Structure 1
Amino acid sequence: MGGNYTQLRFILLGITDTPWAQAPLFVLFLLIYIVTLVGNLGLMVLVWVTPSLHTPMYFFLTHFSLADVCYSTVISPKMLTDLLFGDKTISWAGCVTQFHLFALFVTAECHLLAAMAYDRHVAICHPLSYVLVVSSRACWQLVAWCYLVASLSALLYTGCTFGGSFCGPHHIDHFFCDASPVLRLVCSDTRGCEAAIFALAVANGLGTSVVILLSYGRILRAVLGTSSAPSRARAFRTCASHLASVAVFYGSLFFMYLQPASRHGSRDKVASVFYTVVSPMLNPFIYSLRNREVKAALGKCRRKVLNLCQEQRGAARGIREFWNGLGWKGP
């Protein structure tokens, strides 16, 4: 791959080089990362422990939340340590690993979004055959396909990005190792790699977005054809939430990867913040907290926790009364 890079180290220039902005940005992104972890992991646990949520839609949602947690964790901890300590160096192997995992989980999320749209399409347009079409086996096959395509695409992305010769300087004008800023450091001709990355972005991004748009187009046609106002309102709420998340995620991705590398600039950092930091935090709220089934499951879990606490307090009170009856004055 153009030489021995075991000793090569890159320097990430970060989001900003303004000293007074480092601490506020660290606090902001730390809070966002904590909310991302709590929201997505909490949603996954809630689905696992609630039998009423053991449906294909929430099965896909748990994998979607897992992808959010994974690719956010690939980016955020390194960014936070850079903001806190100012040591923005990263080894060549670390840079390759970060980009590969990032490409893997982001691509998987694109295909999971398409699978979720297909699930909603079958549920609304073909409700009588939903159980047969979106069976447990079909769900696992769709998820396996998402990860398989993502794994192959990530290998190609990584090979195209890090396959050239790095002659220096090794300053990456970004807060993580992304394709465009890394390619600007390559001394050899990168036009072939840029074309390959663009083609992969089109295949994964536009391909999955077409599936989403076609699915929701058929959903819209089916909903407009029904005479039940509550059903229409419920379907429109589902579509609006999903499409809002799709718009944030795909909009920033298309801005980043569906343009020539020569046109990339400082605005890339702003777009990258949306799909690496903000979007994973918003998804649990968009997909779950506005959903009545999830709200009901949260209410049941809350009541169970409160009942358990009351039982524990009652048991503790009974123990104190027992010892008091024996003449022992406890605390």
Structure 2
Amino acid sequence: MNDFDYSKSTEIGQAVEELTTKNHAKAIGGGTNLLDLMKYRVENPHYLIDVNHLPYREIVRNASGGLRLGAMVTNADTAYHPLVEKNYPLLSKAILSGASAQLRNAATNGGNLMQRTRCYYFYDTATPCNKREPGSGCSAIGGFNRIHAILGTSEDCIATHPSDMCVALAALDAEIVVQGRDGERRIPILDFHRLPGDTPEKDNNLMSNEIITSINLPGNLFNKNYAYLKVRDRPSYAFALVSVAAALQLNGNNIASIKVALGGVAHKPWRLPYVEQKLIGREASKENFDSLAEELLTGAQGFGDNDFKMALAHKTIVRALNEAKKL
């Protein structure tokens, strides 16, 4: 780990100013991902700005009738919050399927949104990686790529986004609130993270001088028919090979609303609202769930070791929707 300077911020304006003016500065909350990256010398900030003391450590109702999740609230406190458990159990379940209890006690909501990929080659500084060194090449293409993406890939990167929380947020139409020098900005969750394209080093659309302050959850609830299904190599403390956040609103046995987001398959949580719209008014049946899965996975491509993910993703989508329907 390289030497770095450190400061604590208690006011958002101060934190934004330091993030703007300090050379190679990074904000740090729980540090469960950033500190690992620093130890591996993947990230080498010259200046760390501790944002844990900013006034964003509460979960409260927002103007839309939903919830505002403070960016500095820990993942554990979010998952076990009574209003989250009652109104957004899909989010609670997704958070509790990730990492370990110890990490969830430290990791913050803002940090979870900002965590970087767990690609083996990204962490191995002895190998080429376009995310780490743009233009150096992607070692995963043609390498060991069992955990890698099958959707939204490019010739420069096939890494996946590792978060469970973000998959649920994508299904719930969350909104990310950020603060920068130009004031507050709100970013729909589906626009927050990026596909790799030819700039895989950019994981999200946050500006370099912006800080996440909160996550807004809308008032439309999916707390009756939902499922978070995570397929992984071992029962705990493992990233998803494929995960599915599914939420339904039913009118009898017909679909009034449907949300399906995938994890472990792309550089960002994968959701296609226009595909979901085709099922509105149709029967909540395995045949229709199969049809949705097929469209969600249109264009999926394996790279050898991860070819199995295409069939696995299809089956996981259908199973998650069937589980959501039965609740």
TM-score, scaled to structure 1: 0.27
Structure 1 or 2: more helix by fraction: 1
The answer to which structure, 1 or 2, has the higher relative contact order (CA under 8 A, 6+ apart) is 1
Choose 1 or 2 for highest CA Rg.
Answer: 1
